[in-house]
Structure 1
């Protein structure tokens, strides 16, 4: 329903509170994950599994440092978060923007669509590949965790 059409017979329109269940659950899950990572320091060995790519090859993957980045953000240290994994910080920020977009659309009774097409996925993959290559080169040591 787009807010302009009457509800079908015998069916009441959903209340704003019931429409906010899904975005609220997403925020609760993300918040719980950040709270856990914020309380269990990934800088201390033994709490989290080691990245298999790093363990086998010594190469940092695009996600290496993501937990340290989340830990730093949970403690309000944006500079350390960017130093651990700038791509993860960008991903966290994009998630936050999407949640705001989602809540606004839901409150306005509008559909929530993000039309990601093949070029978007290719661009995302290429950006992750470039990030991975650069952070593993001597020139990109500032991007390594």
Structure 2
């Protein structure tokens, strides 16, 4: 009598993968999480934004907005004679670029506050980029409404006789 020493595997053989579905999107495998951004890449956007702002200020510093013909007239001022919150902004930028902060403030006080606010946010952005963190500034809607209200009040006051000091 002989004993059969062949091993019998009771587990089923591995099934062949199903044929690809022609309508399904190709998925190469599990997605890898993005690696840490390089230092140059983290600084690229804030430096690019600053280059654009410096270029804009350079252009305004070169062509004086106080001389007619270089820039168009504000449409609201041209049609109604009413100063908008941005009226005097180019003259403000021209004076600011030439270091005359008092004249810049007199042309458009909100714009000068905006220049300093931009500088503060830009420095914060660079610090956070250096640490590898994104810049996240989330303002609640009440703050946006407050900013809008301040701009509206500024616009109304600069068009009234007692607020003529705020007019460009």
Q: Deviations over 1:70-107 (max 9, x none)?
A: 00000000000000000000111111111001000110
Summarize the alignment of residues 50-61 of structure 1 with structure 2, pairs less than 5 Å apart. 50-61=73-84
Q: If the length of structure 1 is used for normalisation, what is the TM-score? A: 0.90
Residue 72, structure 1, aligned to residue 95, structure 2: yes
Could you list the structure 1 runs, at least 4 aligned residues long, displaced by more than 3 angstroms after superposition: 8-12
Aligned length: 138
Residue 35, structure 1, aligned to residue 19, structure 2: no
Gaps of 5+ in 1: 1-7
Cα deviation for residue 118 of structure 1 reads: 1.0
| Correspondence for 1:19 among 20, 29, 42 | 42
Assess, with a 3 A threshold, how the Cα gap between structure 1 residues 10 and 117 changes in structure 2: closer, same or farther.
closer
Q: In the alignment, what sits opposite 2:13?
A: none
Gaps of 5+ in 2: 1-30
Q: If the length of structure 2 is used for normalisation, what is the TM-score? A: 0.78
- Greater per-residue helix proportion: 1
Residue 99, structure 1, aligned to residue 99, structure 2: no
Q: In the alignment, what sits opposite 1:114?
A: 137
